């Protein structure tokens, strides 16, 4: 049998005690590993006509259409266009989406959305979407005499609970607009009370936000 000196044995015991102490401290204060932590991330879907079922709104107006687009976690995205203005709502079906506050949430000026929808999700369960809107500014016409489009990011909360706009981020006024929108989605959307809480303007305000919140 291999002999171990008392000094070496004491050193090993001291080292083992240090490891146990370190593990105990880490258990209380160290970050949780990714395997057990609740992680927040993004997924993306499209509302481009080619990716959706497109239907006429049935009101006799040529440019009035409804797009029913696949989303995440069993949700569909319903984009309704009428009189050069759009609304975007989310639900388990078109009928469910049509009943949400977001189905009636648009802006006074002419507006449109870009086709990319960013879904913010925790452990794969979406709780908000972020989408870029373009709002026409009649006070700023281009060389062809047409209103220029002012971009803003719209954060919309998802079920459980109602679906409605939560926050606006002016894209031109904020170089980190995407990050601000994600932060707003992560921190505000789930606790936002549709119909009671006021939509928040996040970051610096610019012309796009002025058009969006104009009463």
Say if 89 falls within a structural domain: yes
pLDDT by residue (tens digit) across 127-186? 999 999 999 998 988 878 788 999 999 999 999 999 999 999 999 999 999 999 999 999
Say if 16 falls within a structural domain: no
pLDDT score at 62: 54
pLDDT score at 143: 76
Higher pLDDT, residue 201 or 20: 201
**CB under 8 Å to 48, separation ≥6 — which residues?**
115
pLDDT grade, residue 38 (50/70/90)?
A: confident
Say if 110 falls within a structural domain: yes
pLDDT score at 177: 98
Say if 11 falls within a structural domain: no
Say if 7 falls within a structural domain: no
Say if 13 falls within a structural domain: no
pLDDT score at 8: 52
Number of domains within the chain: 1
Question: Has residue 20 got a pLDDT over 50?
Answer: no
Residues 161 and 22: their CA atoms lie apart, in Å, by 44
Question: Has residue 12 got a pLDDT over 80?
Answer: no
pLDDT score at 27: 40
Least confident residue range of 17-31, 66-80, 92-106, 115-129: 17-31
Q: What's the pTM?
A: 0.79
Say if 48 falls within a structural domain: yes
Say if 20 falls within a structural domain: no
Task: Determine the structural domain holding residue 51 and report its residue range.
Answer: 40-213
pLDDT score at 141: 82
pLDDT by residue (tens digit) across 100-137? 999 999 999 999 999 999 999 999 999 999 999 999 99
Q: Once rounded to an integer, what is the mean pLDDT over residues 84-98?
A: 97
């Amino acid at each position: 049998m291999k002999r171990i000196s008392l000094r070496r044995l004491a050193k090993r015991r001291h080292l083992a005690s240090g490891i146990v102490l370190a593990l105990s401290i880490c258990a209380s204060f160290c970050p949780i590993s990714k395997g057990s932590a609740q992680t927040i991330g993004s997924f993306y879907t499209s509302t481009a006509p080619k990716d959706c079922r497109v239907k006429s709104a049935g009101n006799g107006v040529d440019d009035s259409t409804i797009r029913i687009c696949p989303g995440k976690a069993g949700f569909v995205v319903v984009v309704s266009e009428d009189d050069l203005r759009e609304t975007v709502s989310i639900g388990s079906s078109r009928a469910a989406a049509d009943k949400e506050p977001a189905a009636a949430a648009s802006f006074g000026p002419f507006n449109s959305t870009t086709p990319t929808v960013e879904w913010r999700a925790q452990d794969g369960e979406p709780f908000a979407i972020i989408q870029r809107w373009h709002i026409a500014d009649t006070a700023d016409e281009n060389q062809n005499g047409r209103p220029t489009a002012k971009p803003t990011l719209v954060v919309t909360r998802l079920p459980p609970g109602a679906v409605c706009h939560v926050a606006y981020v002016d894209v031109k006024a904020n170089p980190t607009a995407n990050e601000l929108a994600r932060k707003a989605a992560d921190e505000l959307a789930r606790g936002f009370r549709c119909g009671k809480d006021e939509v928040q303007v996040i970051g610096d305000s610019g012309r796009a936000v002025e058009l969006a919140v104009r009463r």
